[in-house]
Amino acid sequence: MAATGFIKAIGMALKIEENVSLKTYSTMRVGGVAKYLARVSLKNDLVEAAEFAKDKGLSIFILGRGANVMFKDSGFDGLVIVNDIRGFEVIEENDEGATIKIGAGEDWDKTVLKTVEMGLSGMEALSLIPGTVGAAPVMNIGAYGQEVAEIIESVTAYDLRENKFAVLGKENGGFQYRASRFSGEDKGRFIIADVTFKFHRNRMKPPFYRDVEKYFEDNGVTDYSPQAVRDAVIYIRTNKLPDPNKIATNGSFFKNPVIGKEKWEELVKKFPELDTAEPQWPQKPRWFLDNGTVKIAAARLIELAGLEGYEEGGVSLWPTQHLTVVNKDAKSAGDVLAFKDKIKAGVKEKFGIDLEEEVQVVG
């Protein structure tokens, strides 16, 4: 549905539209209508948008590029704030590294490119992850041996509870595997306006993920510069994952489940394949974590449940990454949700494990 027009325009800056289709605001490209939507490019606009929602008693949903969000057909009966705050301010740069404050609405991969070109290390393995800088701390994005929390110094955010901006140091971010305070206990409370990162100039060190190591071997790379790691990651991701600009997807739909040691021992007796390397799984599909728990590759569980390449209702699993759900021609968000429930049910039936969604389903 097309927007029914602007209902609020303050100066040249803040515009709030009414009845906006959310389909193009999520890379899954399904979903209903937002009652109101504001695109915010200034910190002051955030405050205005928040006040607008408060006056009308509306809930707020903060959105970057929607790479990790899909909307239900019921849409969002409140105000969606699309964060488009820009900026790239080098606070300090020296032989050791640099401290840079970056606007939440900046494109993530363009930011990685810029910092790699400055010879800085910290984000290079996170190349080609779709989305914005402001969303990166929320899910503590990670890939190929790096996690964004490692280089976050602080986050500036508008606190919707206290109605003021706050600067939260890394120690106050509650960062964990694919989670943070912003996705956990304080979900929806803070609108991140900018993030300050502390980069260094050290090289990443082996051992690398098997795919990265293979790329280095095949290409005779021995200097693991930020650019070399970025090149490797771009090569691997381009060959393995769908490009959300061309194919509707939110990437990995499920988290890798983490289970207790006892459950793992029972499971591996029944399914020794979970503890073996295979040609397509050159690394064993499980990781023993420091706290005694075991993380299992959800993609392997999906494969072993016989769901590889499964397709129904215009939705399918991506052939080279079984965690990735793609919308080929689903009629609605309902089709995508029914599909992911089937995958979850298949894994539960075979292994007794509940897969948890990594993608946020809104509505």
Token reading at 315 = 């939705």
CB 170, min distance to ligand FAD, A: 16
Query: Which residues lie below 8 Å from residue 153, measured CB to CB, with a gap of 6+?
Result: 99, 169, 170, 196, 197, 198
| Residue 128 backbone phi and psi in degrees, to 5 | 70, 10
178 assigned to active site: yes
| 53: region left, alpha or beta (phi > 0 left; psi from -120 to 50 alpha) | alpha
Judged by beta carbon, residue 119 or residue 314, the one nearer ligand FAD is 314
Judged by beta carbon, residue 251 or residue 257, the one nearer ligand FAD is 251
Residue of 343, 316, 311 whose CA lies nearest to 327: 316
- Separation CA 179–CA 177 (nearest Å): 5
Q: Is 31 in the site for ligand FAD (CB under 6 A)?
A: no
Site for ligand FAD in 132-151 (CB under 6 A): 132, 134-136, 138-139, 141-143
- Binding ligand FAD by CB under 6 A: which of 31, 75, 97, 131? 131
Q: Is 244 in the site for ligand FAD (CB under 6 A)?
A: yes
Kindly name the residue from 252, 286, 300, 303 that is annotated as catalytic. 252
Token reading at 313 = 């209702």
Q: Is 20 in the site for ligand FAD (CB under 6 A)?
A: no
CB 1, min distance to ligand FAD, A: 20
Is the CB of residue 216 less than 8 Å from the CB of residue 232? yes
Q: Is 65 in the site for ligand FAD (CB under 6 A)?
A: yes
Q: Is 62 in the site for ligand FAD (CB under 6 A)?
A: yes
162 assigned to active site: no
Considering only the stretches 189-197, 212-220, 266-274, 328-336, report the one whose residues sit in contact with ligand FAD under the rule CB under 6 A.
189-197
- The tally of CA atoms less than 13 A away on the side-chain side of residue 80 is 27
CB-based burial label for 89 (10 Å; 0-12, 13-18, 19+): exposed
Site for ligand FAD in 192-221 (CB under 6 A): 192
Residue of 143, 145, 137, 144 whose CA lies nearest to 167: 137
Q: Give helix then strand counts, H and E, for the chain.
A: 7, 21
252 assigned to active site: yes
Kindly name the residue from 39, 65, 178, 286 that is annotated as catalytic. 178
- The tally of CA atoms less than 13 A away on the side-chain side of residue 207 is 4
* Total residues found in the chain within this entry: 363
Judged by beta carbon, residue 27 or residue 121, the one nearer ligand FAD is 27
Considering only the stretches 5-13, 44-52, 65-73, 348-356, report the one whose residues sit in contact with ligand FAD under the rule CB under 6 A.
65-73
| Residue 81 backbone phi and psi in degrees, to 5 | -105, 115
- Separation CA 158–CA 351 (nearest Å): 43
Site for ligand FAD in 80-119 (CB under 6 A): 83, 104
Considering only the stretches 131-139, 162-170, 257-265, 293-301, report the one whose residues sit in contact with ligand FAD under the rule CB under 6 A.
131-139
Q: Is 174 in the site for ligand FAD (CB under 6 A)?
A: no
Residues classed as catalytic: 178, 252, 358
Which spans of this chain sit near ligand FAD (rule: CB under 6 A)? Answer: 27, 62-69, 83, 104, 129-132, 134-136, 138-139, 141-143, 182, 190-192, 241-242, 244, 249-251, 360
